Structure 1
């Protein structure tokens, strides 16, 4: 589905990723784990086109999209939820979703489907997004991405800084999305248990390099924790 092959990328004259290879399976989840500063967010930014690799390729369904702009990748059914519960704070919950739904053939239906996944947002439809809790903003950010009906979803630490009562809801939703098929997910996540439950394959980044990779699942969780010393 999504292949990141021998990618070198960074900021200005500083290289952050050094020959990284990651593959996201079709209708499956690949989890990227690592400590802060390992290059996980940089990897997602390269995948979505916000950074252009100096070497290596990014392929989507076999097509080389390394030089494609972000909006071209979105038109190919890629969606990205960056770190930090990013929403339009001055707009209401409903307006945040409507902004994405407008002009899309399945805009209304996709919005209803996203709200079915996060039913608490329906009661908050008229509240400004800037007044939502961190967890509610993250739910809204994911719902807004899903309104685009992506085939591949990039999630950057979706449970970071969120109250425990909503972490479980977000985890369950992502697991449900992964289980129902039709969607591939590249997940950057600090919560090892959740990441390994969701993923068919995992990658550990350290100082911009993949130091180990393997299958996902509960059986591999202990080895990953030992590798990360968590």
Structure 2
């Protein structure tokens, strides 16, 4: 689905990624794990076109999209949920969703579908996003991305700073979506249990380099935890 091949990228003259290669399976999940500063968010920014690599390439369904702008990648079915539970705080939950749906074919149905995935958002439809809890804002951020009907969803630390009950809801939503087919996910995550339950493939980044990778699944959790503890 997505291939990030031999990418070198960074900010100004400070390299962050060093010949990094990550592949997202079709209709599956690839999880990228690593400590803070390992280059995980930079990898997503390169994938989404927000940061141009100094060398290497990004391919979507075999098409080289390295030079495409972010909006062109969105048009090809990519969606990105950055860190920070981003929303328009002065708009209500319903207005945040409608803003994305406006002008899109099937926007009303898309809103209904994400509200089925995140029922709490229906209950909070009239509340301003700035008054939601961190977990509720994260669900709103993911819901906004899903309204675009992506084929590839990039999630950056979706469980960071969120209470365990909401982590479980987000995990179940990701698993539900990928089981349906038609959606691939590149997941940056520090919650190892969630990442391994969701992912068919994992990569561990250290100082911008892939130091370990393999098949995901619950059986891989011990090896991943050991690799991250080194």
Q: Would you say same fold, with TM above 0.5?
A: yes
Question: Any unmatched runs of 5+ in structure 1?
Answer: none
Residue by residue over 1:147-184, the C-alpha shift from the partner in whole angstroms, topping out at 9 and shown as x without a partner, is: 00000000001000011221111111111112111100
Q: SS state of the match for residue 112, structure 2?
A: helix
TM-score normalised by structure 2 residue count: 0.99
2:100 corresponding residue in structure 1: 100
Q: SS state of the match for residue 195, structure 1?
A: helix
Residues 1-230 of structure 1: pairs in structure 2 closer than 5 A: 1-229=1-229
| Partner Cα distance (1:27, 1:106) in 2 | 22
Residue by residue over 1:19-50, the C-alpha shift from the partner in whole angstroms, topping out at 9 and shown as x without a partner, is: 00000010000000000000000000000000
Give runs of ≥4 in structure 1 deviating > 4 Å: none
| Partner Cα distance (1:101, 1:211) in 2 | 40
TM-score normalised by structure 1 residue count: 0.99
| Partner Cα distance (1:15, 1:129) in 2 | 36
Deviation at 1:13, TM superposition (A): 1.1
| Partner Cα distance (1:186, 1:160) in 2 | 16
Deviation at 1:55, TM superposition (A): 0.2
Q: SS state of the match for residue 204, structure 1?
A: strand
| Partner Cα distance (1:191, 1:163) in 2 | 12
Q: SS state of the match for residue 31, structure 1?
A: strand
| Partner Cα distance (1:184, 1:164) in 2 | 24
Q: SS state of the match for residue 3, structure 1?
A: strand
| Partner Cα distance (1:93, 1:16) in 2 | 36
How many positions carry a matched residue from both structures?
A: 230
Q: CA RMSD in A?
A: 0.8
Q: SS state of the match for residue 171, structure 2?
A: helix
